[in-house]
C-alpha cells in the first residue's frame, strides 16, 4: 500500500496550485488523457511525476479547465493539482515539460479549487488562414450571436443542452490574419469552429447576416461543418485568479523561434515553386 505522505511529518502539507498553460496542439491528439496517444494532460502528468510532485494524479486532484480537440492550441488553459513541493513545481516544470507545452503563470488556490467548475468564462480565438473580403459584414453578423441561442445547427450537440449564452464576440486583425474572438460561460463540441465557418461564409460573400439568423432560429437538414481545428486557440480561461508570471522558458522560446524560421522558409520555397498564373 502506498504511504500516505500527508501523515508523514517529514513531508510538508500539500498545497493546491493552478498553472496557466500554453501549448501548440499540432502534435497532440487533444488535451485529455488517452492510453495510447500523445496528449497535453498525459505529458503534463508525466512531467509532474518525474519531479515527484505526486505519484497518483487522481489523489493529487489533477484537473484541466476544459478539453481541446486534436490540433487545437492554447494560450490560456488552466491545470490544477495538489503537491507538497510547490516551489519545485513553479521552478522546474517548464524544464520537464516537452517543448510544445509551457507554463506562463502560477497561483496558490484553495484546496477545493477546480479549474473546470470554477471558471467564470472561456474565450477562444479562431484565426482564418484565408483572407476575408468584407470584415464589416462579418462583424455585423457576429453580433447576432450575442446572448442566449440554440446552437443545434452550429455544434455537435449529442445529449447536451443546445442552449448557450455568448457573452462577447468580435473580429479583428492580428498581423496578416483575420480572427474571430468569442467568450461564453461554456461551449458545445465544435461550436466555435462552426461559428467561425458560418461567419467566414459571410466574410467572403457566400451568405449574409440573414443566413446566420436562419442557423440560429430554423432547423436545418445538416449542421454546418466546423472550420479546421488548426486555427483555433483557447485564448483565456477566467477563474478570477491573481496570476504570478513564470519566467519565459528558454527551451520553448527557442523551439517557437525555430518553428517561425521553418515556416518562413517553407513559405519562401512555395513562392519559388508555385507555378505562375496564366
Q: What is the pLDDT of residue 65?
A: 97
pLDDT at 28 over 60: yes
Q: What is the pLDDT of residue 275?
A: 65
pLDDT band at 43 (very low <50, low <70, confident <90, very high): very high
Helices and strands of the chain, counted as H and E runs: 6, 10
Q: What is the pLDDT of residue 232?
A: 96
Q: Do the Cβ atoms of 74 and 17 come closer than 8 Å?
A: no
pLDDT at 74 over 90: yes
Q: What is the pLDDT of residue 4?
A: 47
Mean pLDDT of the chain: 92
Lowest-confidence pick of 80-84, 111-115, 128-132: 128-132
- The better pLDDT of the pair 276, 272 is held by 272
- The overall pTM is greater than 0.75: yes
* Local structure of 173: helix, strand or coil: strand
Domains of the chain are 13-118+240-254 (3.30.70.580), 121-234 (3.30.70.660)
- Return the percentage of the chain with pLDDT > 90, whole number: 78
Q: What is the pLDDT of residue 7?
A: 56
- The better pLDDT of the pair 250, 197 is held by 197
Q: What is the pLDDT of residue 2?
A: 42
Lowest-confidence pick of 119-128, 198-207, 210-219, 221-230: 221-230
Residue 40 exposure: Cα atoms within 13 Å on the Cβ side: 30
Task: Name residues whose C-beta falls within 8 Å of residue 103's C-beta, 6 or more positions apart in sequence.
Answer: 19, 20, 21, 22, 93, 94, 97, 246, 249
Q: What is the pLDDT of residue 277?
A: 54
Length in residues, the chain: 278
Q: What is the pLDDT of residue 113?
A: 98
> Catalytic: 69?
yes
pLDDT at 273 over 90: no
Give the active site residue among 4, 52, 56, 69.
Answer: 69
Question: How many C-beta neighbours within 10 Å does residue 60 have?
Answer: 21
- The better pLDDT of the pair 272, 18 is held by 18
Q: For residue range 130-162, what is the model confidence (pLDDT) as tens digits?
A: 999 999 999 999 999 999 999 999 999 888 999
Burial of 176 (0-12, 13-18, 19+ CB in 10 A): exposed
Q: What is the pLDDT of residue 276?
A: 62
Whole-angstrom Cα distance, residue 119 to residue 244? 18
pLDDT at 20 over 50: yes
In this structure, the dihedral spanned by the alpha carbons of residues 246, 248, 252 and 255, taken in order and rounded to 10 degrees, is: 170
Q: What is the pLDDT of residue 197?
A: 97
pLDDT at 209 over 90: yes
All cell numbers assigned to 96: 520537464
What value does the mean pLDDT take over residues 239-264?
88
What value does the mean pLDDT take over residues 249-266?
85
Amino acid at each position: 500500500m502506498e504511504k500516505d505522505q500527508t501523515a508523514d511529518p517529514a513531508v510538508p502539507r500539500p498545497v493546491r496550485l493552478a498553472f496557466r498553460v500554453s501549448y501548440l496542439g499540432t502534435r497532440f491528439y487533444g488535451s485529455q488523457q488517452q492510453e495510447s496517444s500523445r496528449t497535453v494532460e498525459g505529458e503534463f502528468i508525466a512531467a509532474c511525476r518525474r519531479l515527484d510532485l505526486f505519484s497518483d494524479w487522481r489523489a493529487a486532484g489533477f484537473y484541466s479547465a476544459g478539453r481541446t480537440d486534436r490540433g487545437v492550441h492554447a494560450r490560456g488553459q488552466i491545470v490544477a493539482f495538489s503537491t507538497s513541493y510547490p516551489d519545485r513545481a513553479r521552478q522546474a516544470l517548464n524544464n520537464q515539460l516537452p517543448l510544445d507545452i509551457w507554463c506562463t503563470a502560477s497561483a496558490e488556490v484553495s484546496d477545493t479549487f477546480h479549474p473546470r467548475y470554477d471558471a467564470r468564462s472561456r474565450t477562444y480565438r479562431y484565426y482564418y488562414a484565408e483572407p476575408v473580403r468584407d470584415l464589416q459584414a462579418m462583424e455585423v453578423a457576429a453580433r447576432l450571436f450575442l446572448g442566449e441561442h440554440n446552437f443545434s445547427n452550429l455544434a455537435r450537440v449529442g445529449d447536451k443542452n443546445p442552449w448557450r449564452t455568448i457573452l462577447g464576440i468580435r473580429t479583428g486583425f492580428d498581423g496578416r490574419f483575420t480572427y474571430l474572438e468569442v467568450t461564453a460561460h461554456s461551449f458545445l463540441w465544435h461550436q466555435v469552429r462552426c461559428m467561425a465557418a458560418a461567419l467566414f461564409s459571410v466574410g467572403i460573400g457566400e451568405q449574409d447576416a440573414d443566413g446566420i439568423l436562419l442557423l440560429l432560429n430554423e432547423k436545418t437538414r445538416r449542421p454546418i461543418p466546423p472550420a479546421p481545428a488548426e486555427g483555433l486557440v483557447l485564448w483565456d480561461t477566467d477563474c478570477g485568479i491573481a496570476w504570478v508570471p513564470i519566467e519565459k522558458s528558454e527551451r520553448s522560446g527557442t523551439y517557437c523561434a525555430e518553428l517561425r524560421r521553418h515556416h518562413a522558409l517553407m513559405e519562401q520555397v512555395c513562392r519559388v515553386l508555385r507555378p505562375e498564373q496564366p
